[in-house]
């Protein structure tokens, strides 16, 4: 067999994806043509969110509590009690993640607007602009110039959100359905 490494489960999955045995028979009879098309990684969600100018500030635990956000240690270590630079008004865009992905392809798909300022992130949290149904993912630079994947999730049981920071080299990736944010600033 030409493709001896294929397992029966993989063959069955492919048959199911293309529409079952009837589709296989039509393909083999050359009555239909198969066209492979790359899936989109990101799809825009709604309209851009206008975010105002944000003055320079130091992020404190109290600010997070006021925003009803619990912060995990990696986020605290990168952003808490650190000076956050001022950010000019910008439009922030939400994108639905259409398939599981690592950070690098997501960042490449976002292009120039990949980073969102910490000030704009905090404004979005404080103003209830993030989804309570999906993880919200931002790419934010710390005070040392390192970009982190910052995720914010709503925990309905605790009636609060939680926020953490992950290395963009992290191998765990993000699940389909999450919302990834970018900025035009």
Between strands 57-58 and 83-84, the pairing is antiparallel
The domain tally of the chain equals 2
Please give the Cα distance from 166 to 53 (Å, whole number): 26
DSSP result, 85-146: --B--EEEEEEEE-S-B-HHHHHHHHGGG-B--HHHHHHHHHTT-S-SSS-EEEEEE-TTS-
- pLDDT exceeds cutoff 70 at 60: yes
pLDDT category, 38, cuts 50, 70, 90? confident
Q: Are residues 97 and 158 in the same domain?
A: yes
What mean pLDDT value characterizes the chain? 91
Q: Are residues 17 and 93 in the same domain?
A: no
Q: What is the pTM of this model?
A: 0.81
Closest CA to 140 of 54, 40, 66, 61: 54
Residues of the chain above pLDDT 70, percent? 97
Q: Are residues 4 and 89 in the same domain?
A: no
Q: Are residues 29 and 46 in the same domain?
A: no
Q: Are residues 99 and 65 in the same domain?
A: yes
What lies within 8 Å, CB to CB, of 178 at 6+ separation is: 96, 97, 134, 135, 136, 137, 151
CB 59 within 8 A of CB 81: yes
What is the per-residue pLDDT across 97-112, written as a single tens digit (0 to 9) for each?
Answer: 999 999 999 999 999 8
> Which pLDDT belongs to residue 28?
92
Q: In the predicted model, what is the mean pLDDT of residues 53-65?
A: 94
Q: Are residues 17 and 77 in the same domain?
A: no
Q: In the predicted model, what is the mean pLDDT of residues 14-38?
A: 90
Choice among 65-69, 77-81, 139-143, 152-156 with the minimum mean pLDDT: 152-156
Q: Are residues 159 and 176 in the same domain?
A: yes
Q: Are residues 104 and 78 in the same domain?
A: yes
Q: What φ, ψ does residue 120 adopt, rounded to 5°?
A: -65, -40
Of residues 128 and 155, more confidence is placed in 128
Q: What φ, ψ does residue 22 adopt, rounded to 5°?
A: -60, -40
Choice among 79-83, 85-89, 171-175 with the minimum mean pLDDT: 171-175
pLDDT category, 185, cuts 50, 70, 90? low
Which residue range forms the structural domain that includes residue 32? 1-37
Q: Are residues 75 and 7 in the same domain?
A: no
- pLDDT exceeds cutoff 90 at 180: yes
- Three-class SS of residue 66? helix
Q: Are residues 64 and 19 in the same domain?
A: no
Q: Are residues 24 and 89 in the same domain?
A: no
Q: Are residues 109 and 177 in the same domain?
A: yes
> Which pLDDT belongs to residue 158?
64
């Amino acid at each position: 067999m030409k493709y001896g490494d294929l397992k029966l489960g993989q063959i069955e999955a492919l048959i199911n994806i293309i529409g079952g045995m009837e589709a296989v028979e039509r393909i083999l009879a050359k009555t239909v043509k198969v066209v492979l098309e790359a899936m989109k990684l990101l799809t825009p969600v709604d309209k851009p969110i206008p975010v105002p100018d944000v003055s320079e500030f130091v992020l404190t635990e109290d600010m997070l509590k006021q925003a009803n956000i619990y912060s995990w240690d990696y986020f605290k270590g990168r952003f808490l009690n650190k000076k956050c630079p001022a950010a000019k008004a910008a439009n922030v865009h939400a994108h639905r993640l259409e398939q599981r992905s690592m950070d690098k392809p997501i960042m490449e798909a976002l292009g120039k607007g990949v980073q969102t300022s910490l000030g704009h992130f905090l404004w979005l949290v404080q103003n209830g602009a993030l989804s309570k149904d999906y993880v919200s993912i931002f790419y934010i630079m710390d005070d040392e110039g390192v970009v982190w994947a910052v995720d914010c999730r709503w925990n309905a049981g605790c009636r609060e959100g939680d926020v953490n920071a992950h290395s963009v080299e992290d191998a765990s990736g993000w699940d389909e359905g999450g919302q990834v944010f970018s900025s035009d600033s």
